[in-house]
Amino acid sequence: MARRSPRLAKKFTESASGEVVGLFTASRSAAPMVSCDQVTLLAGKGIDGDRYATKLGSYSALKFSSREPGTREPGRQLTIISADGIESALERAGLPPTSASFGEFRRNIVVRGITGEQLLMAQGSALRLGSGVVFLEAIFDVSGVSCEVLQGGVVAVGDAVCPEPADSPAHATVRDIGSQPPGYFVRPSKRTAGMLRGASLHMAGTLERVMKDDPDGAVRVEAAYESVGLRFWPASSWDAAAVLRRRRQRRQSLAACAAIAVALAAAGVAAMAVGVIAMKLQGDV
């Protein structure tokens, strides 16, 4: 990821323009990406029906906001990626052009005419897509841009993508990069051993909090990573948390069974009483 340079952002606003060439949503974490002709942006939420608008995304349980502690950073509501950036990165790596849908990259909006480098310049700037406006927050080279939806509206394939005017109030939005550990904005290959240890400790503490507040969310992100052969949480922390979760679920199941047994017993006593009254009435008749 990179921090925004005012000079680069100004250059972006003077030069960038592009077109929406792909729109994709997924109903929940790890669900297939569905190609759409148009989508509706919801201010402060994301794309209508997408997993991050409904808080069912892989990372929805992670609440690192520095603007509003205890909440998810607003800049994680939708993602944009550059088709030009993808193609350039594949070419530099000596790989053939992608034959798959751009949806395989699991980003919501694919644009052409704006390079990955131009998106990198745009951090802290506002973009207009169709009738919606988004604020660009977190960026890591050509892998895409995470955005906050400032103004809702409809975006369709073929719509123009352009920066908001320099005097737009949207540019006054306060950036929220979250309370990230040291090294978060450093390319993985350049992170030091100290950065890696710090990240592991940070994630272990995060897991402890998430398991209390949203255990299903903690499981969701780990399952998403496991589906491609990776792990999200530190292995030792996750294994310990998983054991505690199973014990908690077992206690909850036993408590539920006990409650059902009590209810059935009470119902049985009531049924017997009704039967006795009915027999007495029959005898009296």
| The predicted structure's pLDDT at residue 10 | 52
Apex CA 146: angle with CA 175 and CA 138, to 5°? 50
Residue 67 has pLDDT above 50, yes or no: yes
Q: What gap in Å lies between CA 101 and CA 98, rounded to an integer?
A: 8
- Which residue is associated with the tokens 């502690």? 69
Q: What gap in Å lies between CA 139 and CA 80, rounded to an integer?
A: 10
Q: What gap in Å lies between CA 134 and CA 137, rounded to an integer?
A: 9
Quick check: 66 and 178 in contact, CB under 8 A?
yes
Per CATH, domain 6-172 is 3.40.309.10: no
- Of the pLDDT bands very low, low, confident and very high (cuts 50, 70, 90), residue 21 is very high
Residue 277 has pLDDT above 60, yes or no: no
Q: What gap in Å lies between CA 181 and CA 204, rounded to an integer?
A: 12
Task: Give the DSSP letter of residue 98.
Answer: P
Least confident of 56-60, 199-203, 223-227: 199-203
Tens of pLDDT along 146-200? 899 999 999 999 999 988 887 787 877 877 777 777 777 777 788 899 888 888 8
| The predicted structure's pLDDT at residue 282 | 57
What is the arithmetic mean of pLDDT over 38-50?
97
**What is the share, in percent, of the chain residues with pLDDT greater than 90?**
31
List the chain domain ranges.
6-172, 188-235
What is the arithmetic mean of pLDDT over 216-237?
89
Q: What gap in Å lies between CA 207 and CA 63, rounded to an integer?
A: 11
Question: What are the residues facing 167 on neighbouring strands?
Answer: none
| The predicted structure's pLDDT at residue 46 | 96
Residue 2 has pLDDT above 50, yes or no: no
- Of the pLDDT bands very low, low, confident and very high (cuts 50, 70, 90), residue 285 is very low
Q: What gap in Å lies between CA 31 and CA 75, rounded to an integer?
A: 22
Q: What gap in Å lies between CA 3 and CA 186, rounded to an integer?
A: 10
**What is the share, in percent, of the chain residues with pLDDT greater than 70?**
85
| The predicted structure's pLDDT at residue 164 | 86
Q: Round the average pLDDT of the chain to a whole number and report it.
A: 82
